[in-house]
Structure 1
Amino acid sequence: MRALTLIVLLAAALYSGWWVLGRGQTARVLDETAQRLEAEGWEVAWDEVSTTGFPSRFDTTIDAPRLAAPEQAWTWSAPFLQILSLSYRPTGLILAFPEEQGVTIGGEAIAVEAEGMRASFDLTLPPGLELTEAVLESGTTRLEGAEWTAELTTLLAAIRRAEGEDPAYDLFARATRIVPPGLPEAALPPTIERLEIDALMSTDTVFAAASAGEVRPTALELRHLTLAWGETMVEAGGRLDVGPDGVPTGRIDIAVRNWAPLLDTAIAAGLVPAQAAPAIRQGARIAALGQSDLTLPLVFEGGRVSLGPIPLGAAPRF
């Protein structure tokens, strides 16, 4: 019995040492990550870092974290950020966000209020630390700018490594009861009931600690996109291939049930120039053969993008 007691005490001592080592590793990884981002032009700062949870957890709290993208393209700040993991499974991480956060985009300050916002990450073991899955969840989320507000009731976004040798990731996102900003009274109600996206993204390399910021998409297969808004339903699917220059080519087929209210709302919101509205409306009627349902291709070709016969301008770069 004495020998068994000594073994238990030795195991406890080793486990305690593992926890202390893990706590030190957490601080070191945070410092190294900050240094790497700063070398790439980011600004990273916080007031204090502390880790608790002995003996079975690593619960790290970062006080007053602040992050700014290169050239201040956007910034993020919060009173705190928690990074949670089990000491026997340190590659499974949970990020717990405070209810109030601050964001600036293009110099505009945006106040964020999010209920229960959390992000989880699953990584492979070192030295690879490759991303296998990440999930972001939030309850009621409200964004408030200087002269506008937007809100949604639930948000779920996920990325998961797809099976196969070539790097590819399943993408999924769903948001419910979305209230867009600055929407005037129009043909559609003020709340979008549901937006859902399911896609497969191929990349040139895997998402990993060593490749952060260097992953480039090579193809995007849109399995489906669904937008439910009042009596209007939008569904889309297709594929884009992305060249070495980041320019996409391909086609997304878009089907709209009850298209007229959607066009009326876009015109009222200023998304469609008033002078072009009559021609676009007439073109939609012709394409729909006078019916309430409409199907049009969104075509990416030669660095340009068009919706059916309507040119929309330069294609985005990935």
Structure 2
Amino acid sequence: MRFLLAVIVIAASGWSGYWFIGQSGLNRGFAAWFESRRADGWVAEASDITVQGFPNRFDTGFTDLVLADPETGLAWEAEFFQILALSYQPNHLIAVWPDQQLIATPQEKFLVESEDMRASLRIAPDTRLAPERATLTAEFLQITPEARPDEATALTSLTLAAERQQETEYRLGLSAEGLTLAAPWQARLDPQGRLPRQISGLHADLTVRFDRVWDRSAVEDARPQPTEIKLKLADAKWGQLHLQAAGEVTVTPEGWPEGEITLKARNWRDMLRIAAETGAVPESMLGTLENGFSLMAQMSGNPETLDVPLTFRNGRIQLGPIPIGPAPVLRLR
């Protein structure tokens, strides 16, 4: 009995020592990281950093957190932010956001409001801290331009997931329900008010290859850039409209996509009419396009469903035979 008691006391003392050493290491590590960011010209401040959770958790809390990168012009402010981890599995983290936070871009500032916004993150057990798997969820999310408080965009639920497949290849997933667009966007996309206020569902499954691994240097130095995108399926439903997409594009060093995405549009005539109402398609071309697309739809076997390629080439976009305009530049700031 004495021997067993001695073993328990020694084990408890050893575990306590491990926890307090870990706590001290986390405090020093975060303090050094903030100091290093300030040395690089960042704004990196927190009024308080605490590590709690003895004996089985390392729960780090940041109060009045402000981070701003002068090179990209991006900034983030949060009243509090938490990083939670089990002391015996420190590479599996849970991040918890506050109900309100402020994100600034070079163009404007946005108020982000959410309910139960958190992320699960499993990182490689080394000093690079490269994410292996991550999932972010929110029961409610609303983004409002600070200068235009009446132009909020909101979601009833959001799930984002990422998993590293190979060294620089990541599988990404998106599920968004109940997307309510800001009033100007709603009016721009549906000027006649034909569609419901909410986009009922938006889902995507894709694989993206980057020019290097996502790790701590992505925050400290520069973001990895996409080089190849394989879209397994994107699916969006808005009222009676249903749009799906799949295909592959490569991304040039300048950020231009090159390749083809196949679009499948159900009730495509309604989409075409709405595109004409928004000015995306000239009224003078509406009849010609409807006749041409109708022939393409009949060839596919279902006159109400249209399969048409969206082609990216030489910095331009083309929908079937129709030039759309310049392609987006796919560069991460």
Alignment match, 2:125: 125
Alignment partner of 1:187: what SS?
A: coil
Alignment match, 2:311: 299
Q: Of residues 158, 161, 171 in structure 1, which corresponds to 2:164?
A: 161
Letter in 2 for 1:250: G
Change (3 A) 1:173 1:311: same
Q: Choose 212-221 or 53-62, whichever is displaced more.
A: 212-221
Q: Choose 240-249 or 215-224, whichever is displaced more.
A: 240-249
Alignment match, 1:201: 208
Letter in 2 for 1:16: S
Deviation at 1:295, TM superposition (A): 2.8
Q: State the TM-score, normalized to the length of structure 1.
A: 0.88
Aligned pairs, number: 312
Deviation at 1:40, TM superposition (A): 5.5
1:226 aligns with 2:238: no
Change (3 A) 1:144 1:42: same
8 Å Cα contact 2:272-2:290 kept in structure 1: no
5+ residue gaps, structure 2: 296-302
Deviation at 1:3, TM superposition (A): 2.5
Alignment partner of 1:286: what SS?
A: helix
Q: Choose 86-95 or 72-81, whichever is displaced more.
A: 72-81
Q: Choose 210-219 or 223-232, whichever is displaced more.
A: 210-219
Deviations 1:255-289 (A, max 9, x none): 11112433455566x5x45xx53145345413422
Alignment match, 1:289: 294
8 Å Cα contact 1:187-1:262 kept in structure 2: no
Change (3 A) 1:94 1:311: same
Alignment match, 1:172: 173
Change (3 A) 1:144 1:214: closer
Q: Choose 174-183 or 303-312, whichever is displaced more.
A: 303-312
Change (3 A) 1:293 1:96: same
Alignment match, 1:135: 135
Quick one: distance in 2 between partners of 1:178 and 1:128? 36
Deviation at 1:86, TM superposition (A): 0.5
Quick one: distance in 2 between partners of 1:193 and 1:102? 27
Deviation at 1:31, TM superposition (A): 3.0
8 Å Cα contact 1:61-1:81 kept in structure 2: yes
Alignment match, 2:66: 66
Alignment match, 1:310: 323
Deviation at 1:217, TM superposition (A): 2.2
Deviation at 1:143, TM superposition (A): 2.2
RMSD, aligned CA = 2.4
Q: Choose 65-74 or 300-309, whichever is displaced more.
A: 65-74
Alignment match, 1:46: 46
Letter in 2 for 1:180: L
Quick one: distance in 1 between partners of 2:87 and 2:100? 29
Alignment match, 2:298: none
Quick one: distance in 2 between partners of 1:280 and 1:5? 87
1:90 aligns with 2:125: no
Deviations 1:186-231 (A, max 9, x none): 2211110000010011223322235653523221100000001111
Letter in 1 for 2:290: R
8 Å Cα contact 1:101-1:111 kept in structure 2: yes
Quick one: distance in 1 between partners of 2:3 and 2:125? 34
8 Å Cα contact 1:74-1:107 kept in structure 2: no
Alignment match, 2:299: none
Change (3 A) 1:130 1:143: closer
Quick one: distance in 2 between partners of 1:93 and 1:287? 53
Q: State the TM-score, normalized to the length of structure 2.
A: 0.85
Deviations 1:53-84 (A, max 9, x none): 10000111100111223357332212100110
Change (3 A) 1:263 1:32: farther
Letter in 1 for 2:258: T
1:215 aligns with 2:224: yes
